[in-house]
Structure 1
Amino acid sequence: MSTTSATTLDSPVLRAITTHTQSENPSSFLALNSGNDVFTLPGVDGVAVYRRAGRHLVQFGGPFAAPDAYGKLLAGLRERTREEQLHLVSVQLQRADAEQYRKAGFTVNQIGASWAVHLPEFTLRGTRFMQLRNKISRALRNGLVVEEVPAEECEEALNTIDKAWLGSKGEHARPLEFLVGQVGGPAQGHRRLFVGSIDGAPVSYISYSPVYGSRSGWMHDLSRRIPGGSPGLMEAINASAIEKFAGEGVEWLHFGFTPFTGLSEDNELPGRSPSFQWLMHFLWAEGAALYPAQSQLDYKEKWAPHAALPEYVAFDGPASIAGFAHVFRACNAF
């Protein structure tokens, strides 16, 4: 058994997420985020990625492993967590992961969904997209120019945008980590960055991460803008990226995970916690102060996604509010 940093284990983690795609996790590239830790077992083909948060070990996405190694890695991580008297909670599990965890005795509940557009079917024509087209046109009339650029060529500008964006969130706002993407670091060469500029000054950007599996493509990941600028900046950047991706023959554009969205009784598994299920619905309706799920979903629904993919959380034991809170702690939310 070994535990190490995801940064120093870049190649094995990348190999795992590109090779072992059976769970169809569109966010799997987040396993390569700087700051993640990686659990492995000798002779076992795969990795498990996690972060420590207080007395909890928060695992991301289930084991990325060969089918015959999946259960061994999960059992090994579970054993290690118990030996250290920690509590294991696993988040952003896909349906295939959720079934495995339920069979292993975890309490599994839907926590939200991710959303995806099938680019061969996508078009901005028609009355449904009239408002979206108007926002894009307004940004372009205001002088927005969108370019795909290497991150290392605009690092200072990106930092300026990040600082202004975070400052608009309030003095106690913190940049989220773990379940959101990054710009820079060892994995940057695998991402794509589209930057919007006005009068030569960068004002907004969207970073896209690769997605593997049967719905391969790109994920609309980290996005930032300078507050108070032209409406439609993000929409115009994403439309430009879609045009480029479609021209390359890319099949899917994913919009990533949004907690508390896409909740359905049909998505729940036997043995789920009814009280935790109630909490997820409550946070969808009333939890904007914790996470702006409704506004996030509004943006994604503008693009008329073709697929809503349920995502799950699993607790080693009963569903726990403390365990759920430590997911947000691992994300640097507080």
Structure 2
Amino acid sequence: MAQFAVEAEISAPAVPAARTTPVYVSLLTASLRALARSRPVSAVLLALLSLATAVPLFFEESLLEIAWRFWLSRHIADPAESTLGVTMMIGAIASRGLVRLPRRRVEQPSAEDVARAIEILASQPNASAGLVRLGDKKLLFSDCGQAFIMYARRGRSMVALFDPVGPKALWAPLALKFIAEAKSRRCRPVFYQVSADFLPVTVEARLNALKLGEQAVVDLSRFSLAGGDWLKLRRSINRAERDGLEFELLAPADVPAVFDELSAVSDAWLSAHKAGEKGFSLGTFKPHYVLSEPVAVIRLEGRIVAFANILTTASGGDAFIDLMRHLPGVHRGMMDLLFVRIMEHLKAEGFRSLNLGMAPLAGLSTHKRAPIWNHVGRQLYENGERFYNFRGVHAFKSKFDPDWQPRYLAVAGAGFPIASLVDVTMLIGGGLKGVLRR
């Protein structure tokens, strides 16, 4: 949900306007919260929450956003959909009463820790780990100081983002250190969006891994628009350029001069999607973050109409598209042009791969021995297009012939990790209040 992992128009359709008045919504929310305080009712709502958290709210949209769309959409014609929307909303609100802890000050890393982490980034290949520059996640370093885990705490979960950053030989001891730290704080250890390379660590640490989807990684060494298979994409970008769209890749030193334009595009994108900034596993439009890396822009008549910031590694191996925002309704081929030209420039500079981010719920097997999560996720992927563009995200990224790499959620214990999914959701969405404001 991105991202694209990031933030693409195809991944987040605009939420239809609600017919219900804000006063009614407020009264309903207050009533549901009161119900959640009743233990018998909470037990029932916990069962409903199992269904609610099956929605992949932890990618780019929050549970409440999807629930509102189910329940309040002007286009709902099926009573079953309306019932499901109410169920999801009840589950989300009830979960706050079930897993909420006393309010804590948000933990932030020290400037020294962030500087240490950035030094480690220079010697490792995972460009998406550049999200550490946001400074919104705590850092846990290995005993030798050559690797780190970035994490945040929500409810009773300590959630690590991505694989540990540093030499693979340090992953297992660092992961065990993280688990011990979580347990010392009476928290659940959670590893979010880890790769298949991390699975041996999950076995050693007795963690349960659930597949979240697949990540699209383009091999730049073999990327080319030559040949008949690329005809449709070539036509799209040629048409965009004939219509006056121009691409430019700005070095970090050149970004401050256009920062105000980028900010205006970002604000317009958020407004068009009726969304607020997400966080944790997604970049946010913060000046120090946007100014730290190259930014690709599309101009029309000299005015910036789209941009993407690109996280890179000093080793020059991997690159990652994070924020991607644009003015609505400019040109159908604008995103094709932006992505293709980014790939061509990175290839010319010697980069080996470009990470396009996740395709949520893609590639889930549904054989008889597959986890229940896989069956639920596959049904959502196949039948949830009206409420989230699962197939559209996968189809867009498939244009560029990527390698599809699985990504997992790893948690302690067996069964369906309801509370952990809720906590990850709230981390990305900025909490329930932040979700309700969007």
Measure the CA separation in 1 of the matches of 2:135 and 2:168. Answer: 26
Q: Which residue of 1 aligns with 2:412?
A: 316
TM-score, scaled to structure 1: 0.85
Measure the CA separation in 2 of the matches of 1:29 and 1:294. Answer: 28
- Mean Cα deviation higher: 179-188 or 91-100: 179-188
| Contact 1:114/1:256, CA 8 A, preserved across alignment | yes
Tell me the number of residue pairs that the alignment of Structure 1 and Structure 2 aligns.
Answer: 320
Matched, 1:176 2:278: yes
Q: Which residue of 2 aligns with 1:295?
A: 392
Give unpaired runs (5+ residues) of structure 2: 1-106
How far residue 297 of structure 1 moved from its aligned partner, in angstroms, is 1.4
Give unpaired runs (5+ residues) of structure 1: 267-271
Matched, 1:34 2:135: yes
What SS does structure 1 have at the residue aligned with 2:429? coil
Measure the CA separation in 2 of the matches of 1:328 and 1:59. Answer: 13
How far residue 247 of structure 1 moved from its aligned partner, in angstroms, is 2.1
How far residue 157 of structure 1 moved from its aligned partner, in angstroms, is 1.0
Measure the CA separation in 1 of the matches of 2:170 and 2:351. Answer: 31
- CA pair 71-249 structure 1, distance change in 2 beyond 3 A: closer
| Contact 2:366/2:375, CA 8 A, preserved across alignment | no
Cα displacement string for residues 199-248 of structure 1 (whole angstroms, at most 9, x for unaligned residues): 121110121111588x9232222211101111111111222222222222
Cα displacement string for residues 53-86 of structure 1 (whole angstroms, at most 9, x for unaligned residues): 2332221013224455433322222122222222
Measure the CA separation in 1 of the matches of 2:386 and 2:203. Answer: 31
Q: Which residue of 1 aligns with 2:334?
A: 233
Q: Which residue of 2 aligns with 1:191?
A: 293
Pick aligned residue for 1:19 from 123, 130, 151 = 123
| Contact 1:206/1:234, CA 8 A, preserved across alignment | no
How far residue 163 of structure 1 moved from its aligned partner, in angstroms, is 1.2
Q: Which residue of 2 aligns with 1:161?
A: 265
How far residue 184 of structure 1 moved from its aligned partner, in angstroms, is 5.0
Measure the CA separation in 1 of the matches of 2:175 and 2:141. Answer: 10
Matched, 1:103 2:200: no
Measure the CA separation in 2 of the matches of 1:298 and 1:234. Answer: 13
Q: Which residue of 1 aligns with 2:216?
A: 115
How far residue 190 of structure 1 moved from its aligned partner, in angstroms, is 5.4
Pick aligned residue for 1:326 from 401, 404, 423 = 423
- CA pair 37-159 structure 1, distance change in 2 beyond 3 A: same
| Contact 2:247/2:299, CA 8 A, preserved across alignment | yes
Identity rate, percent: 22
How far residue 282 of structure 1 moved from its aligned partner, in angstroms, is 2.8
Cα displacement string for residues 268-307 of structure 1 (whole angstroms, at most 9, x for unaligned residues): xxxx9712222332332244577533222111111112x2
1:139-158 equivalence runs, <5 A: 139-149=240-250, 150-158=254-262
What SS does structure 2 have at the residue aligned with 1:132? helix
Q: Which residue of 2 aligns with 1:250?
A: 351
How far residue 18 of structure 1 moved from its aligned partner, in angstroms, is 3.8
Pick aligned residue for 2:148 from 42, 47, 54 = 47
Whose strand fraction is larger, Structure 1's or Structure 2's?
1
What SS does structure 2 have at the residue aligned with 1:323? helix
Q: Which residue of 2 aligns with 1:274?
A: 371
How far residue 43 of structure 1 moved from its aligned partner, in angstroms, is 4.3
Measure the CA separation in 2 of the matches of 1:217 and 1:70. Answer: 20
Measure the CA separation in 1 of the matches of 2:143 and 2:351. Answer: 37
Which amino acid in the other structure matches residue 391 of structure 2? Q
Matched, 1:74 2:171: no
Q: Which residue of 2 aligns with 1:269?
A: none
Bigger radius of gyration among the two: 2
Measure the CA separation in 2 of the matches of 1:65 and 1:290. Answer: 38
Measure the CA separation in 1 of the matches of 2:194 and 2:165. Answer: 11
Measure the CA separation in 2 of the matches of 1:308 and 1:112. Answer: 9
Which amino acid in the other structure matches residue 130 of structure 2? F
Q: Which runs of 4+ in 1 moved over 6 A?
A: none
How far residue 198 of structure 1 moved from its aligned partner, in angstroms, is 0.9
- Mean Cα deviation higher: 98-107 or 320-329: 320-329
Matched, 1:200 2:302: yes
- CA pair 122-250 structure 1, distance change in 2 beyond 3 A: same
Measure the CA separation in 1 of the matches of 2:285 and 2:255. Answer: 7
What SS does structure 1 have at the residue aligned with 2:324? strand
Which amino acid in the other structure matches residue 181 of structure 1? G
Q: Which residue of 1 aligns with 2:26?
A: none
Which amino acid in the other structure matches residue 120 of structure 1? S
TM-score, scaled to structure 2: 0.66
Measure the CA separation in 2 of the matches of 1:124 and 1:223. Answer: 22
What SS does structure 2 have at the residue aligned with 1:124? coil
| Contact 1:258/1:296, CA 8 A, preserved across alignment | yes
Measure the CA separation in 2 of the matches of 1:286 and 1:208. Answer: 33
What RMSD in Å do the two structures reach over aligned CA positions? Answer: 2.8
Measure the CA separation in 1 of the matches of 2:145 and 2:306. Answer: 43
| Contact 1:13/1:31, CA 8 A, preserved across alignment | yes
Measure the CA separation in 2 of the matches of 1:27 and 1:297. Answer: 19
- CA pair 189-159 structure 1, distance change in 2 beyond 3 A: closer
- CA pair 26-261 structure 1, distance change in 2 beyond 3 A: farther
Q: Which residue of 2 aligns with 1:124?
A: 225
